[in-house]
Amino acid sequence: MQDLKPSITYAFLIIVSTLLLSPKLAASSSDNFNFGDEVFIQCGTTEYPDLGSTKIARIFMGLMDMISMEIKKQGWSTESLINPLTQIFALGECRSDLNSSICLKCFHHAREHLSQCLPKVAGRVFMDGCFLRYDNYSFFNEAIDKKYDQSVCIKSPLKENMESDSNATVLYGFQERAGRAVTNVTETAPGAVQKFAVNGDNKDVFAVAQCWHTLDREGCERCLRRAGRKLNDCIVVNDEGKSMLAGCFLKYSTRKFYAEEFNENAVKESNGQLIKN
Ligand SMILES: *[C@@H]1O[C@H](CO)[C@@H](O)[C@H](O)[C@H]1NC(C)=O
Ligand SMILES: *[C@@H]1O[C@H](CO)[C@@H](O)[C@H](O)[C@H]1NC(C)=O
Ligand SMILES: *[C@@H]1O[C@H](CO)[C@@H](O)[C@H](O)[C@H]1NC(C)=O
Ligand SMILES: *[C@@H]1O[C@H](CO)[C@@H](O)[C@H](O)[C@H]1NC(C)=O
């Protein structure tokens, strides 16, 4: 995507980091994990030529309706519309640990945010539980995007204190466990059926990695390696960090943010649908 202007809504992040600071709130937030709280939007800078904004909005809505139906069934979807005047491609994908009602809810929020990009030729939105992008070319196997791939870190006062006390033993221990969790999901996801992995081995650090279903294994590995490198600086002392790349999503947190009941063994594939025991 050559012409995106990064525009990130930090207001949502502030809400989330406030939640993280309170153990009580954090506990209740993991019950209904706040998939929709953090929103990162990037919109293209150029507009579709020869198309009125009403027309492009109609096309967009049509595409989104098609994606909505598939998302409900299998948690992800790609759609495209190609005619002599224009071509538009869209990809939507939910985090694989979310059930279909949560997924659909996340998608509806994402769609609403993304519609703000119209009538630009491109836009993408990362929420905590889902990803949605449209563009004027087929980007479905794009693993990385040097210009627009991003990562964010969140730090709590607790960690601020640890850092200023510079208790190297504690800091290094955390860094090491966070690094292990991130490395584990980064290496596991590309070979998994859903291209998705979670890790909570260390009890105090949780990680999730996911590639879009449209990537092949090599693209997924490339994306997650880069996503992991982007978190290196976060891991030193932050409670939470995530990478949001063209082809994948990687997050770790001291809070168990993925679905409580989820574990890899509970996911089976049946007609492309997720089934949770
Ligand atoms: C989906 O997950 C949410 C959060 O865990 C839960 O509250 C809801 O009951 C689930 N819905 C279904 C249909 O399983
Ligand atoms: C997509 O839009 C960009 C920016 O307007 C333009 O340069 C490019 O040619 C377009 N690509 C296609 C396939 O239409
Ligand atoms: C650092 O933390 C560890 C583990 O809690 C503790 O054993 C050690 O005494 C602390 N060191 C300093 C210098 O505070
Ligand atoms: C990741 O962690 C799981 C669970 O502890 C373990 O079984 C698996 O071998 C690890 N995989 C890698 C590649 O580290």
Which DSSP state fits 215? S
* Beta bridge mates, 121: none
For ligand 3, is residue 167 a contact (CB within 6 Å)?
yes
> With bands split at pLDDT 50, 70 and 90, how would you rate the model's confidence at 274?
very low
Note the pLDDT of residue 54.
Answer: 87
pLDDT tens digits for range 148-186: 899 999 887 666 666 666 667 777 788 899 999 999 999
Give the ligand at the shortest distance from the Cα of 33.
1
pLDDT digits (tens, 9 = 90+) for 211-261: 999 999 999 999 999 999 999 988 887 889 999 999 999 999 999 988 766
For the cut 60, the answer to whether the pLDDT of residue 141 exceeds it is yes
Asked whether the predicted pLDDT for residue 24 surpasses 60, the reply is no
In the chain, what percentage of residues exceed pLDDT 90? Answer: 58
Closest ligand to residue 134's CA: 2
CA-nearest residue, atom 13 of ligand 2 = 137
Distance 33 CA to ligand 1 centre (A): 10
Residues in the chain: 277
State the pLDDT at residue 261.
60
Residues in CB range of 213: below 8 A, 6 or more apart: 76, 93, 194, 195
pLDDT of residue 233: 86
Instruction: Give the C-alpha distances (Å, rounded to integers) separating 234 from 111, 208, 227, 237.
Output: 29, 15, 12, 6
- From the CA of 253, how far away is ligand 3's center (Å)? 23
Inter-CA distances, 150 with 69, 141, 177, Å: 29, 18, 23
Question: SS3 of 259, please?
Answer: coil
The set of residues, in sequence order, having a beta carbon less than 8 Å from that of 223 and lying 6+ positions away, is: 143, 144, 211, 215, 245, 246, 247, 248
Largest CA distance in the chain: 64
Atom of ligand 2 nearest to the CA of 137: 13
**Three-state SS for 76?**
strand
Alpha carbons 230 and 4: distance in angstroms, whole number: 20
- Structural domains in the chain? 8-135 (3.30.430.20), 150-276 (3.30.430.20)
Per residue in 144-176, is it b (16+ CB within 10 Å) or e — as a string? bbeebbbbbbbbbeebeebeeeeeeeebeebbe
**Lookup: tokens for 269:** 């594939």
List the residue whose alpha carbon is closest to atom 14 of ligand 4.
184
* Distance separating alpha carbons of residues 69 and 216, to the nearest angstrom: 24
